[in-house]
Amino acid sequence: MKVTYYLEVLSSWCHWVEPVWAELKDRYKGRAAFEWRIALMRREDYPVSRAQCDWFYKRSGGTVMNSPYILNSGWFEEDRAGDYENPNLVAEAGRDFGFADDTIRLALASAALVRGRKIGDMGEAAAVAAKASGIPAAKIWARAESKAVRGRVAASTAEFFAHRIGQRPAFILEDDIGDKAVFSGIVRAEPLAATIDAMLADTAAYASHAAHHGAPPKR
């Protein structure tokens, strides 16, 4: 089966779900394929001030997640007016240099949400990615601004909205027998793992039946 994770680099909830993502990949290694895709937030989805951003962080990290640390709002730039596609373009560009894993996007998220670096700036985002990957920042920057990368980000964002969901993180679970489960805004492992287990069990049952009884009659 396949698990697709839709994310936004600067999403605080995506930050909180990363341990769950790592846990699922480890638990179901060899039994499920895992892939992340960018789902850009709309400009109006971003906070309008650092004070508002800090309020959200105290709610998510403190009240909901009981985290020992609160996220850093230093990445926020009021003059940017919610335009933060650059770090997402950089994360996507990493695929073209062999980094389809989580290395670059996690480095970007940590730089902003933990250390407060202003990765909304393309140069800053490229510098973070370069340090994490060893790829020259200029090459990453050029690729991030390419038509191909912008096209892929636009397409994956459209896919996200086509599921009629609006909260990130989002997880789309699909198996070989045509089942699909959609989770939007979930940051706990339990419901995801329970659904993956159920879908794997159903798929195995279908395979067992086919092995014993062959293909279904045509009429």
Asked whether the beta carbons of 171 and 160 are under 8 A apart, the reply is: no
Range of the domain at 209: 2-213
Q: Which 3 state secondary structure label does DSSP give 83?
A: coil
Is residue 109 included in any domain, yes or no?
yes
Q: Provide the pLDDT confidence category of residue 62 given band limits of 50, 70 and 90.
A: confident
Per-residue pLDDT at 209: 77
Per-residue pLDDT at 181: 98
Over residues 105-112, the mean pLDDT reads 98
Is residue 161 included in any domain, yes or no?
yes
Is residue 218 included in any domain, yes or no?
no
Q: Residue 219: is its pLDDT beyond 90?
A: no
Residue 154: C-alpha distances to residues 35, 37, 92, 179 (Å): 17, 11, 11, 26
Question: Which secondary-structure segment (H or E) carries 181?
Answer: strand 180-184
Q: Please, what is the average pLDDT of the chain? A: 96
Q: 195-201 long-range CB contacts below 8 Å, 24 or more apart? A: 196/1, 196/3, 196/24, 196/28, 196/32, 199/1, 199/173, 199/175, 200/1, 200/28, 200/31, 200/32, 200/175
Q: Provide the pLDDT confidence category of residue 216 given band limits of 50, 70 and 90.
A: confident
What are 151-174's pLDDT values in tens digits? 999 999 999 999 999 999 999 999
Q: Answer whether the bond into residue 169 is a cis peptide, omega within 30°.
A: yes
Is residue 106 included in any domain, yes or no?
yes
What are 119-141's pLDDT values in tens digits? 999 999 999 999 999 999 999 99
Per-residue pLDDT at 211: 84
Q: What's this model's pTM, rounded to 2 decimal places? A: 0.95
- List the CATH number of the domain containing 102: 3.40.30.10
Per-residue pLDDT at 114: 97
Over residues 70-79, the mean pLDDT reads 96
Per-residue pLDDT at 116: 98
Is residue 219 included in any domain, yes or no?
no
Q: Provide the pLDDT confidence category of residue 218 given band limits of 50, 70 and 90.
A: confident
Number of domains in the chain: 1
Is residue 99 included in any domain, yes or no?
yes
Is residue 129 included in any domain, yes or no?
yes
